[in-house]
Each structure stands twice: as structure tokens, then as C-alpha cells.
Amino acid sequence: MKPEPENIVTLTDIYLQRAGKPVLTGLSLAVPRNSVTAVIGPSGVGKTTLLELIGGRLSPDKGYLLVDGLSVPDLGRRELFALRKKLGMLFQSGALLNDLDVYENIAFPLREHTALPEPVLRQLVLMKLELVGLRGARRLKPAELSGGMTRRVALARAIVMDPVMVMYDEPFTGLDPISKAIIVKLIKQLNTILGMTSIVVTHDVHEAMQIADFVYMLGQGKVLACGTPDEIKNSGREDVSQFLQGQADGPVPFHYPADDYFADLLDGSSNNDDASKTGGTV
Amino acid sequence: MISVVRRTGAVSLVVFAATGRACMLLMQMLYSIPSAIRRYGLLIEQLYRVGVLTLPIIIVAALFVGMVLALQGYNTLVDFGAESSLGLLVALSLTRELGPVLAGLLFAGRAGAALTAEIGLMKATEQLAGMEMMAVDPVWRILLPRFLAGVLSVPLLAVLFTAVGIFGGYILGVDVLGVDQGVFWSAMQQGVDFQQDVMNGLLKSLVFGVLISLIAVFMGYDASPTPAGVSTATTLTVVLSSLVVLVMDFCLTSMMFQ
């Protein structure tokens, strides 16, 4: 995929191994500016790894990775941190700082990177809190927030520096339908209001299709299908249909790879299953 | 036999690799000290959490250690009619050995374990990863203030331990056992050398402070991001810090007091 100025992220032929296992095997994709791009696919397919690569927390073994015109693997620490100031990231857990209340969590990046006077900082924080509908919860501690509220506070923190791009790691996982709808609305709304780019990594197909301008489906370490939500739905590929329709068995097998079942049952030795050897204590 | 050699080799590799990572972390923190000085508020906050909150345990322990020293010392010295040296015995024991060593061990148990658990939990809950993605270096923002606070606190706590211990020895020796007050203090004044005893004791506690604080922050930062990982790291901090304090105490003593 060619690095074009209208693409904020370009990955070309990316290979990556983790713990000796190949995670990405020739992944190529591009994220257009000012769009909502969804990256979908089954769990463990390398979606979060993709975000870690874009954010410079991991380096690919092979391939080219450009973010906002910069080759991320070649950046020094200072340049990488300068790039990260322009990016926002919403973690699945929220990753809020437990010792700080909601207000201070959102003010945190501003306090670290700017010398804004307190009244200006307060206004910025309140504006972001108002955007996510939690201005009234500013003095609550993270432990007092529900899952949906935690995600919204983390979202407010991710956009407080007015980033050019926000990456969402499983933003809908574990949320009730109302909270899910709120997050869907916020992602779409913020993308339009703030004129930024959004990358949504998720396995919630319905929500992804609702907000995405462009969808990539990953599988076996590479892109299986890409296009608009309608193009993906009508792709006709078996593995894509299995995922979209939530079928238990298909090209993505039900069983984790293992030795022959009967041979395994008849094998008298229990050495391989010894819990003490595999670290299985709770 | 081969499996024993293989296992020893594997353990040694893990230990050497961890030591290497700890040294790299130390270098990274030392490199960041100038920028940390600009944010001295972070250091002061940690000095309170790491140092001031350790004061109660230090004061209580020191008082009782001083009293026990005086009691045991008096019972031995009185047989030789040398109870006038009680002040000297208490002071030398505390300044040279017990002050730095016990302050170090208590610090490792209270503050070291807390530092490891805090940093390990921050890692397990993605707070450190979140900081990195906000372009805030967790080594500079979280680890360094805690490390520096530990390095500065241990010598101060050791001095305080020694002072309170001597006071405990004084209460028991003079007020309870009847040693003359003037003799108690003058023996101490004559026998304790500022350079040889006080400064060497202080140097020991500084070394212990660096080692315990480094072990504590490294174990937390290097912990597996799981409940079991954090718990293992916390245990290792206390065990390793205690061993390192005792081994280093022997090494330093043999160099300082030949």
C-alpha cells in the first residue's frame, strides 16, 4: 500500500512475532485521514498488537510503518514522544490513574505537557467532560465509576490534547447496551466535531459497521477483507461470513490445535497435564 | 546431574538478565535526574509517603532495640565492673551496625514492598502503558521520584534510628539500671569517632538506600502484569533487599573497619 498524504497511517508488509509465534504475517493497510476506520476480527488475531505498533510500543520485525508521515520504528525516543502527543489512545481497561479523581485524570496530560494557567486548564477539562456527559462526575474516583463511565472518562482524557488521531482498543467490550450506544455516538460525534481520525479495534461487528467509514477484517496475521461496511457484508468470503454471522465452526475452527483426540485419551501418562508443571494453581 | 547443571544455567541466565535490566533502569533514572529536579514537588510527595510514613515503625523499633542493647550490655559489663562503658557500647553498636542495617531492613519491609506493589499494580492495570501513550515517561514520572525518595530517606531514617536507639539505651541504662548520667555520655563522647563511626554508618545506609530502592522500583516495573506476578515481585523485593543489606553490610564493614 502506497504512503499517500491522505492516509494518516500506512502499514506495508508488516511481519511480527511474539513469544516465538507469528502474529502478523505480511499485514498491509492504510487509514484515511478524518475517517472512522474499524479493524475487526476474532480475538487473538493481532488487532491490539496493530495499535501497539502504530503507537510505537512495539517494533515490527519487517515492513514499513508510517504514522503522520513518520516512520515509527525509526523514531528516537524524543521524536516518538512528540508523535504520541498528537495521538490519543483509549485502552480497553480505561487505564485511568487510580489515585487521581476524574478531573485530575483528564488534566494529567495537560499538566505534564503544558504550562497552562489553572483557569484555562479547568475550562479545557470541563469542556471535554461536558462532551462525554460527565461534568457532574468530576470529583469521583475511578473506583466509583461504572464500566461505561470509566470508558467515557478515558475518552475525555484521550482527546484532551486535541489529537489528530484516536485509537480505540475494544471500546464496546463489557458494556451494557446503553453505555455501548453512548460510546458509539461519542466516537462518531467526536470524529466529526474535532475533525480527527479514529481507528476502532473491535470484535463487536454491529457497532463497528454502524460507525465505520472503512473496515478492515484481520485473520491469520493479515487483512482478509477491506472496504466499506456494505462491501465487507457482501464480500462472499466464508471466513468473513463466519465472523459476521457469529458461527461457532467454520474456517476459524472450534478446536484449538491439538494431538489426535483418541490417542490423547488412550495415552496413560499424565506428565503433560501436571498442573504443577504448567503453573496451574489458583 | 545434567538436569541440575541445566537448571543452574537457566536460573543464572535469568538472574544475569534481570541484573542487566536493573542496571539499565538505574542508568535511565540517573540520566533523568536533572529533569526530575525541576519537578521537585513529585519528590517531596514521595519523601512523605516513603520516608515520613516509615517514621513510626523506625522510632518504636529503635527505642526497643536501644533498651535491649542497654539491658544485655549492662548485664555483661557489670560482671567486669565496666558498666561505665555502657553508653559507648550502645552508641557504637547503633552507629556502626544496627542503625543502618535495621533501618534498611525495616524500610525494605514497609516502604520497599509498598513501592513494588504500587508500581506492579500500575503496570497490571495498564496505567504505565497509558502514560507512555500520553507521551509521559513512566520511568521519569513514577519510578524516579520513588527511587530518589528511597535513596534520601534511608540515611535519614538510619540517623534517626541511631539517635532514638541511644535515647532508649539512656532511659534504661541511666534511669532504670542506675548508670551515672555523666559517665554514660562522656564514654560515648570519647569513644565514638565522627569520621570512622558516624560517617561510615551514614555511608552504609546510603548504599543500602540505593540498593533497596532500586530493587523495589525494578521489581515493580519488571513484574508480570498478573496478581501472581505482583505478589511474587513484592515478596522478592523484601527477600532480596534483606539479603543484599546483610551481605553488603558484611562487605562494607570488612572494608571500613579492618
Domain boundaries, chain B: 16-256
Q: How far apart are CA B209 and CA B58, in angstroms?
A: 15
pLDDT at A276 over 80: no
ipTM over 0.85: no
Q: How far is A52 from chain B (nearest CA, A)?
A: 9
Of B125, B133, B135, the CB nearest to A93: B125
pLDDT in tens, A185-228: 889 888 888 889 999 998 888 888 888 999 998 888 888 888 88
The pLDDT of residue A16 is: 92
Q: What percent of chain A has pLDDT over 70?
A: 91
Of A57, A93, A112, the CB nearest to B136: A112
The pLDDT of residue B50 is: 94
User: How many Cβ atoms from other residues are within 10 Å of residue B247's Cβ?
Assistant: 11
Q: A interface mutation test: which of B133, B142, B231 has the most A CBs within 10 A?
A: B133
pLDDT, average across residues B218-236? 95
Chain A residues in contact with B141 by the CB 8 A cut-off are: 112
Chain A residues in contact with B125 by the CB 8 A cut-off are: 93, 95, 98
Going by C-alpha positions, the residue among B245, B237, B255 that lies closest to residue B109 is B237
Which of B 112-131 lie inside 8 A of A, CB atoms?
Answer: 122, 125-127, 129-130
pLDDT in tens, A217-275: 888 888 888 888 888 888 777 777 777 777 777 777 677 778 888 888 888 665 555 55
pLDDT at A278 over 70: no
Confidence of residue A281 (pLDDT cuts 50, 70, 90): low
Q: Any CB–CB contact under 8 A between A113 and chain B?
A: yes
Chain B residues in contact with A90 by the CB 8 A cut-off are: none
A95/B135 touch (CB, cutoff 8 Å), yes or no: no
State the SS3 of chain B.
Answer: CHHHHHHHHHHHHHHHHHHHHHHHHHHHHHHHHHHHHHCHHHHHHHHHHHHHHHHHHHHHHHHHHHHHHHHHHHHHHHHHCCHHHHHHHHHHHHHHHHHHHHHHHHHHHHHHHHHHHHHHHHHHCCHHHHHHHCCCCHHHHHHHHHHHHHHHHHHHHHHHHHHHHHHHHHHHHHHHCCCCHHHHHHHHHHHCCHHHHHHHHHHHHHHHHHHHHHHHHHHHHHCCCCHHHHHHHHHHHHHHHHHHHHHHHHHHHHHHCC
pLDDT at B195 over 80: yes
Q: Any CB–CB contact under 8 A between B45 and chain A?
A: no
Of B125, B135, B141, the CB nearest to A95: B125
Query: What angle, rounded to 10 degrees, do the helices at A118-131 and A147-159 form?
Result: 130
Q: Any CB–CB contact under 8 A between A99 and chain B?
A: no
